[in-house]
Amino acid sequence: MYYQAVPHKFFRLPSEVGGRIAALDADTGRLLWDRQSEYQTRPMIVGERVYAQGAAWDLRTGTPIAFDFHRSYGCGQISAGAHMLLFRSATLGYWDLRRRDSLQNFGGVRPGCWINAIPAGGIVLVPEGSSKCVCSYQMQAWIALIGERSGEETPRANERNQHAP
């Protein structure tokens, strides 16, 4: 349970007091831990950790975990996959959770102001997010990204079509 985590105060509801995060047991509803903390985005659970812009915690104990997350700029929340965080960081930004200080940007594409970089099934889907924006971005298109698999070579579209009947 989070109490309030939006960078723009005009989105804050009266019930969102801010400055705290807590975990409850899903079976019993018993409070597992409750911490005072400042963070700027809605938390995400990835494995045994909870991540937010500005902080990270052990899911079971609430113990703070060193997490020096930063991004260029941009509104919007963060989405998460098993090994990465996705967000707006001027352009599409991503953070590899397996490496330290791993901010990367995929230029020319503007994610929307909400959650729209979606990691699912080993790919990342990003619907176009700039068509009603006054910002200037080069590519107004949906994109899908797939990572390299260790030891495997991903065939290119034209190579697959060479062997078609």
The model's pLDDT over 25-66, given as tens digits with 9 standing for 90+, comes to 999 999 999 999 888 888 899 999 999 988 999 999 999 999
Residue (of 109, 107, 105, 106) closest to 140 by Cα position: 109
CATH number of 1-67: 2.40.10.480
Residues facing 118 on adjacent strands: 125
- Is the confidence at residue 158, as pLDDT, over 50? no
Please state, as a whole number, how many other Cβ atoms lie within 10 Å of the Cβ of residue 158: 7
* Cα gap 40→95, rounded to integer Å: 16
Helix or strand (DSSP H, E) at 159: helix 157-162
Higher pLDDT, 45 or 3: 45
CA distances from 77 to 111, 158, 159 (A): 10, 36, 38
**DSSP string covering 107-131:** TT----SSS--EEETTEEEE----T
In this predicted structure, what is the pLDDT of residue 33?
A: 95
Report residue 153's pLDDT band, with 50, 70 and 90 as the boundaries: low
**CA distance from start to end of the chain:** 56
| Residue spans per domain, the chain | 1-67, 70-148
> Average pLDDT in the 75-91 region?
86
pTM: 0.75
Q: What confidence score (pLDDT) does residue 163 get?
A: 45
